[in-house]
Structure 1
Amino acid sequence: MAEIVIKGVAKRFDTFTALHSVDLTIADQEFMVLLGASGCGKTTLLRIIAGLETPSEGEVWIGGRRVDHLPPRHRGIAMVFQNYAVFPHLTVFENIAFGLRMAKVPQAEVTRRVTRTAELMHIEQLLKRYSGELSGGQRQRVAVARALAMEPDVILMDEPLSNLDALLRLEMRAELKGVLAESKTTTIYVTHDQVEAMSLADKISVMNGGRIVQSDRPTEVYRNPAARFVGSFIGNPPMNFLPAQPDGAGGWNVAGQRFDGPGVAKAEFAIRPEDLHPAETGLRAEVRVVEPLGPHTLITADVAGQPFRAILESDRPTSPGEVITLAPTPDRIRWFDPETQKAIA
């Protein structure tokens, strides 16, 4: 079992607090993605789990064992870095075997593990080549194979695909998910790329300002963001937000249209761009920019003085300057507290 439990972990650098009392549980064999913008604390949290940083307070448990006082080599982890960290003067075989030899694993077992992980990563034909001769994608496969060969309880990945081109990232995402599911290894993966997070994760933990804002399944994070930040960060394009005013009859006035909403004193209206469609009644939108995207068209419009985006079918002709009416899908409307920024149930 390799359940990871983070209890009240904080990290301070002089007067700057990088993490604020983080609590998080990653289930055995779960693929958890830490998602957030640069500086949100996700890499700091990963490094604390790895033992490369010491928490200012709090505890880290792996497999029922407290490890925050242990050096990295005694935590049962392997790490894959953004810059691959493979040795160009060694062959692929030697790179994958490096950690095993440092751990004094018998040669027959080294050969077995290297061969198996190379096959998993589809690089068995490269074992005799020097890693300096490989492409970026091949070097990243070597780095992952080296981590898997250690048969760790946990694999930690710090933006491992960010240096690859878009097509290679797509291929590696699919491969990584399959390989890690087959290896049954608990994985924590750091990224700022929401597409990567949505496609890979069993669970996503969205971080902002050193705190975990929401931790849930990808579909839940996308459809039911727990805070305004999550709605604005997840999605490309992100959620639209409009101010709302109570209409005195139990509803809400949003850009001149009435909507049913929560029974609270203050609220903000939110809808995703794909959850809008042209209709006879709805939000009056003056089109500013039209971006054809193949099967769909992304428009940026002005609604009540606010920028507002909608994704429409490409066979619906639209041009800048046109005024259209956009109706939200009722069950996709979300409401947020404008003061706390949290979702209103």
Structure 2
Amino acid sequence: MAVIEIKSVAKSFGSFTALHSVDLAIADREFMVLLGASGCGKTTLLRMIAGLETPSEGEIWIGGRRVDHLPPRERGIAMVFQNYAVFPHLTVYENIAFGLRMKKLPQAEVDRRVTRTAELMHIEQLLKRYSGQLSGGQRQRVAVARALAMEPDVILMDEPLSNLDALLRLEMRAELKGVLAASKTTTIYVTHDQVEAMSLADRISVMHQGRIIQSASPIEVYRDPAARFVGSFIGNPPMNFLPARRVGPGDWQVAGLALSGPSTDADEADFAIRPEDLSLADAGLPAEVRVVEPLGPHVLVTCDVAGHAFRAILDNETRAAPGDRLSLAPLPGRARWFDRTTQRALSA
């Protein structure tokens, strides 16, 4: 059982606090993604789990055992780095076998594990090559195979696909998800790429300024962001936001449009809607078209609504041009509302 518990973990570098008392529980065999922009603390948290950084406060538990005082080799983990860290003077076979030889496993067991993980990563035909003869994608597969060969309780991945081109990232994402599910390990994966996070994760922990803002399934993070930051960070393009004014209990005005919203004592809030949750209607938000981008299956239209940039994803047969005026209606049940002061979600 590789349950991971992070209890009130904080990290400071001098006067700078990189992590503020983070609490997180990760289930056995769960694929957890730490998602956030550069500087949010996600890699610092990963390095503390790995034993490469020491927490300033708090505890880290793996499999019911406290590990924050243990060296990395005693934590039952394997790590895949962003820059591959493949040894250039060793063949692919010896790269995968490196950790196994350090553990002094019998040669037959080394052969078995190297062969099995090479087949999982589709690099069995490359075992006799040196890393200088490999492409970037092949080197990344070697790095993942080396981690899997250790048969660890936990695999940690620090932006392992960021150096690959777009098509190769797509292929590797699909392979990784299948391979890690088959390996039955608990995985923590760090990325700033929301597409990777949405496609790979069982659960996403969105981080911002050293804190976990929301930890939930990909669809919940996407549909029900717990804070305005989550809605503005998740989605391509992200949520639209407009100021809203309360005119009665549960009744709001947004850019002149009357909408039902949360019952709150606040007179102001932020109305939010995703671009794909809008449709053309006779009565809607008044929008003036600024830019039209045909994107194959749909059209992305950037508009001005009450002086705010506002995007809508519409059917690819929509005829719109800069200067046109549209009326955009939110789809029923898709709008979200955020407290103007706390930036946290309000219940409609």
Short-chain TM bin: over 0.9
CA shift, 1:249, in A, is 5.9
* Match in the other structure for 2:50: 50
Listed one character per residue, the Cα deviations across residues 83-126 of structure 1 (whole Å, up to 9, x for unaligned) are 00001111000000001101111111001100000000000000
- Aligned ranges for residues 269-280 of structure 1 at < 5 Å? 269-280=271-282
Alpha-carbon separation, structure 2, partners of 1:129 and 1:299: 50
- Aligned ranges for residues 110-149 of structure 1 at < 5 Å? 110-149=110-149
Listed one character per residue, the Cα deviations across residues 159-206 of structure 1 (whole Å, up to 9, x for unaligned) are 000000000000000000000000001000000000000000000000
Residue among 319, 322, 326 paired with 1:320: 322
Q: Is the 8 A contact 2:123 2:138 kept in 1?
A: yes
- Aligned ranges for residues 32-71 of structure 1 at < 5 Å? 32-71=32-71
CA shift, 1:54, in A, is 0.1
Could you tell me which amino acid in structure 2 is paired with residue 318 of structure 1? Answer: A
Secondary structure at the residue paired with 2:312? strand
Residue among 299, 302, 310 paired with 2:312: 310
Judged with a 3 Å threshold, the aligned counterparts in structure 2 of structure 1 residues 317 and 119 are, in CA distance, closer, same or farther, namely same
Q: Is the 8 A contact 1:67 1:75 kept in 2?
A: yes
Alpha-carbon separation, structure 1, partners of 2:299 and 2:195: 19
State the TM-score, normalized to the length of structure 1.
0.99
Matching of residue 26 in structure 1 with residue 15 in structure 2: no
CA shift, 1:330, in A, is 2.0
Listed one character per residue, the Cα deviations across residues 229-270 of structure 1 (whole Å, up to 9, x for unaligned) are 000000000000000011236410000000001111232110
Could you tell me which amino acid in structure 2 is paired with residue 37 of structure 1? Answer: A
* Match in the other structure for 1:333: 335
Could you tell me which amino acid in structure 2 is paired with residue 312 of structure 1? Answer: L
- Aligned ranges for residues 213-232 of structure 1 at < 5 Å? 213-232=213-232
Matching of residue 283 in structure 1 with residue 285 in structure 2: yes
* Match in the other structure for 1:169: 169
Q: Is the 8 A contact 2:249 2:263 kept in 1?
A: no
Secondary structure at the residue paired with 1:146? helix
Q: CA RMSD in A?
A: 0.6
Gaps of 5+ in 1: none
Runs of at least 4 residues off by over 6 Å: none
State the number of aligned residues.
Answer: 345
Alpha-carbon separation, structure 2, partners of 1:113 and 1:52: 26
Matching of residue 292 in structure 1 with residue 316 in structure 2: no
Alpha-carbon separation, structure 2, partners of 1:104 and 1:249: 71
State the TM-score, normalized to the length of structure 2.
0.98
* Match in the other structure for 2:192: 192
Q: Is the 8 A contact 1:4 1:27 kept in 2?
A: yes
Listed one character per residue, the Cα deviations across residues 22-73 of structure 1 (whole Å, up to 9, x for unaligned) are 0001100000000000000000000000000000000000000000000000
Secondary structure at the residue paired with 1:330? coil
Alpha-carbon separation, structure 1, partners of 2:250 and 2:111: 71
Secondary structure at the residue paired with 1:331? coil
Could you tell me which amino acid in structure 2 is paired with residue 6 of structure 1? Answer: I
What fraction of aligned residue pairs are identical, expressed as a percent? 80
* Match in the other structure for 1:245: 245
Q: Is the 8 A contact 1:87 1:132 kept in 2?
A: no
Alpha-carbon separation, structure 2, partners of 1:255 and 1:21: 40
Alpha-carbon separation, structure 2, partners of 1:210 and 1:102: 36
Residue among 270, 278, 281 paired with 1:268: 270
Could you tell me which amino acid in structure 1 is paired with residue 239 of structure 2? Answer: M
